[in-house]
Amino acid sequence: MNLNVFIYKSSSKLIKVFMRIFENFLVFILFKGNNVKFKKVSSSGIPYVMVANGGSFFIGENFNMHNGIKGNPIGCYSKCTFFVDKGGVLTIGNNVGVSQTAIICHKQISIGNDVKIGGGVKIYDTDFHSLDPIIRASKEDMIHKVLAPVIIKDKVFVGAYSIILKGVTIGENSIIGAGSVVTKSIPKNELWAGNPAKFIRSL
């Protein structure tokens, strides 16, 4: 190996080790400051976390997340976003991995054990705004938004850049193909993909 390459690779590896330690320390402070109940967390990069007063965020064992490109070079540069509104409950189980994922919880989002969530995935349990154009143009807009729980069961794999919308339940072991928009519930042991997501085959 070329000496310059060796020096560069060795230096980069040391820097990555120190940065990972520092980033995990900052994540610990960030979670504690937002009253997140968590156990073992490993992170590359720093997420955005906002838990409103009256909101709850629980994370199980061995939670692994990648923020930005360096942890998971899939082409998505976003950091993870976790937002829990007043009265919302976000629960993430054991052995869950997420990359550059946005989870916006106004009511309830529950993610089971051994779930993998790919780069750039968005999960929303609300429409954010009223579907009525007259209400949407008024000051009453936000109080008329529709909320419905999202439940992702054990061993689900959600492909990169997918969007999971309000009221959806994804059954155990099911897979969501990359770039899908999931608007309705999916049974266990099935592969769905597309916009809107449709049944592809049983697993």
List residues with catalytic annotation: 129
Contact 100, 76 (CB under 8 A): yes
- DSSP 8-class letter at 138: S
Q: Rounded to whole angstroms, how far apart are CA atoms 24 and 42?
A: 6
From residue 9, how far is each of 22, 45, 72, 133 by CA, in Å? Answer: 20, 20, 18, 56
Q: Rounded to whole angstroms, how far apart are CA atoms 154 and 85?
A: 25
* Token pair in block for residue 120: 């750039």
Residue 178 half-sphere exposure, CB side, CA atoms within 13 Å? 5
| Cα 122 → chain centroid | 6
Contact 131, 150 (CB under 8 A): no
